[in-house]
Amino acid sequence: MSPVTLADPPLVPQPTEEDFPDFLSIPVRVARHAAAWPDKRAVLCEGNTRTWRDFDRRINKAAWALAGMGIGKGDKVAILAANSVEYLETFMGALRAGACVVPLSTMAAADALEKMLDDSDAKVLFLSDQYRGLVEPYEDRLAKLIDGGRIAFDFKGEGWRDFEGWLAPHSDSPFELPLDPLDDFNIIYSSGTTGLPKGILHSHVIRDLTAVRFAAFDYGPDTISLASTPLYSNTTLVAVLATLGLGGTTILMPKSDVAKFLEIAERERVTHAMLVPVQYQRILAHPDFDRHDLRSFKAKLSTSAPLRAEIKADCLKRWPGRLIEIYGLTEGGGSCTLEANLHPDKLHTVGQPGLGSEIVVLDEEGHPLPQGEVGELAGRAQIMMKGYYKQPDKTRDLLWYDKGGRPFFKSGDMGRIDEDGFVVLLDRKKDMIISGGFNVYAADIEVLLLKHPAVIDAAVIGVPSEQWGEQPLALCVRRPGTTVSDDEVRDWANAQLSKTQRLVGLEFRAELPRSTIGKIMKRELREPYWAGRSTRI
């Protein structure tokens, strides 16, 4: 079988058809599930349920509707909405029509969203009412949207077409368009960007491969997966697409809610959930956690940020089923997997390279470092994005090549590989504090702070210092019912830290700012301290 060829080959080498002789696009898998299990539940969200038959038919209607508007292969379709059955039908319908889906972050500012919509070349935008305020400031400037390309899920407005009215006239007969392995699947915009955002472009074959590989985590036709993070996040998508691809049932929550999560998990006999670390912390801390029957769980997955060792240990004791931590980039490249149940002595790590991944550690000059030394992690695997959409320079900046000319993705994360081949993650390279010429890793200090009985959450940032360039400052959340002072905790920590790590100060806050997938927004925390300076914001 000959390799796939592209008119404009991506900078990142892509697989050939020979590498994936069993490739099936996710929309094709959905159609096969509908034929095999027509009356089985495919997707549900707050009482709105679709069997595989109905889900597939509505996907066909969406594909025919988009095709009737002239949307075809490679065209971009954007979605800005909360999780819903209709969101997933639109996503799958666009894919079936050959389009590339652009799921937009509901956490992004209006000006950032305008840049994303323009950069992605989206021709159609699907919008829900609660996010109209994020579009209205620039609605008249969306010149790339085609006539009739503004579709409202749940509101009426001038220039906007009602979703059900848009869908209704079209046939639910099979929409069959051959999809090639390297056709564009989605563009996901990186979080926390300034200026022109980076659109991460994935292909169909990469998404199919991810779904197939999730069978190793016990995903399959009997899976009941509970998704409580937003569909615009790759964290959510990998698990949802795996469940759809392998014929399981997906339960969507419009927003994260610990009490509802536990109720749904028990009632629906949920087998799988992809969660972010802050969700594990909040779920395990809920006063009713131990009253819920969660024995149906086969596997719980964690990603997006490191899951603290003590939370992993608590989860292993109290929550049935496998606990699997996955470390990797939305861009793809090398990833690590920690089977916490099998390696209880490695809970401080993010696991070993898995699923055909290779991980190297690089020094500042890009030279590989020996095992045990700290540097920037870089990785490669079969699952690698096609590149940043229309930004070849930024794609090139991400690449590092080994002596054999093979490309690796630089992660921007600092870490080391221990004597057993497990990866210890330390900090984002951009968050590393350089104090008096020494590298200070916030994660090391945060681990110590979280051992204090009065500290429930912590973030360490670098703040300006005339003497040292910058010094670490701790921002913490006090455990309810405790009254310890800022200075007491600072002095307790400094007594155990090295001279270069010592805190210049410690402040208790009511909460720390987090994204919708639980990442602490350190840039936001640093900004007041570096305002007016030319560096380090």
pLDDT digits (tens, 9 = 90+) for 457-472: 999 999 998 888 899 9
Residue 36: CB atoms within 10 Å:
11
The whole-number average pLDDT for the span 425-450 is 88
Domain-located, residue 311: no
Domain-located, residue 318: no
In this prediction, residue 193 carries a pLDDT of 40
Average model confidence (pLDDT) for the chain? Answer: 92
Domain-located, residue 183: yes
In this prediction, residue 534 carries a pLDDT of 47
Among the listed residues 385, 357, 512, 370, the one whose alpha carbon sits nearest the alpha carbon of residue 446: 512
In this prediction, residue 468 carries a pLDDT of 85
Q: Are strands 41-45 and 249-252 parallel, antiparallel or unpaired?
A: parallel
Confidence of residue 28 (pLDDT cuts 50, 70, 90): very high
Domain-located, residue 282: no
Instruction: Please say if the pLDDT value at position 7 is more than 80.
Output: no
In this prediction, residue 4 carries a pLDDT of 36
458 shares a domain with 423: no
452 shares a domain with 391: no
491 shares a domain with 401: no
Q: What is the pLDDT of residues 341-356, one digit of tens each?
A: 999 999 999 999 987 8
Given a contact cutoff of 8 angstroms between Cβ atoms, the answer to whether 201 and 225 are in contact is no
In this prediction, residue 191 carries a pLDDT of 58
The C-alpha atoms of residue 168 and residue 61 are separated, in whole angstroms, by 8
Give the position of tokens 């701790």. 474
228 shares a domain with 168: yes
93 shares a domain with 184: yes
- Report the CATH number at residue 364: 2.30.38.10
The C-alpha atoms of residue 287 and residue 439 are separated, in whole angstroms, by 40
Domain ends where: 248, 280, 297? 248
The whole-number average pLDDT for the span 242-265 is 97
Confidence of residue 185 (pLDDT cuts 50, 70, 90): very high
Instruction: Please say if the pLDDT value at position 8 is more than 70.
Output: no
198 shares a domain with 122: yes
Confidence of residue 334 (pLDDT cuts 50, 70, 90): confident
Domain-located, residue 389: yes
Domain-located, residue 337: no
Domain ends where: 393, 427, 461? 427
In this prediction, residue 5 carries a pLDDT of 37
Residue 194: CB atoms within 10 Å:
8
In this prediction, residue 487 carries a pLDDT of 95
Instruction: Please say if the pLDDT value at position 192 is more than 60.
Output: no
Worst-scoring range by mean pLDDT, 53-62, 195-204, 241-250, 280-289?
195-204
163 shares a domain with 30: yes
The whole-number average pLDDT for the span 506-518 is 89
Higher per-residue pLDDT: 1 or 233: 233
70 shares a domain with 143: yes
DSSP secondary structure string for all residues of 45-83: ETTEEEEHHHHHHHHHHHHHHHHHTT--TT-EEEEE--S
515 shares a domain with 378: no
- pTM for the model: 0.88
Residues pairing with 199 in the sheet: 189
Domain-located, residue 326: no
Domain-located, residue 434: no
Instruction: Please say if the pLDDT value at position 511 is more than 90.
Output: yes
The whole-number average pLDDT for the span 137-154 is 96
- Report the CATH number at residue 28: 3.40.50.980
Q: What is the pLDDT of residues 11-26, one digit of tens each?
A: 787 777 777 788 999 9
Percent of the chain exceeding pLDDT 70 equals 96
The C-alpha atoms of residue 254 and residue 439 are separated, in whole angstroms, by 41
Percent of the chain exceeding pLDDT 90 equals 82
Structural domains of the chain, count: 3
Higher per-residue pLDDT: 97 or 276: 97
The whole-number average pLDDT for the span 58-77 is 97
Residues 295-299: contacts with CB under 8 Å, at least 24 apart:
295/320, 296/224, 296/265, 296/269, 296/270, 296/271, 297/265, 297/270, 297/271, 297/272, 297/273, 297/321, 298/218, 298/223, 298/271, 298/272, 298/322, 299/217, 299/218, 299/219, 299/271, 299/272, 299/323, 299/324
29 shares a domain with 59: yes
The whole-number average pLDDT for the span 145-149 is 97
Domain ends where: 427, 460, 486? 427
- Report the CATH number at residue 458: 3.30.300.30
76 shares a domain with 179: yes
208 shares a domain with 67: yes
Instruction: Please say if the pLDDT value at position 1 is more than 50.
Output: no
In this prediction, residue 10 carries a pLDDT of 62
Range of the domain at 126: 10-248
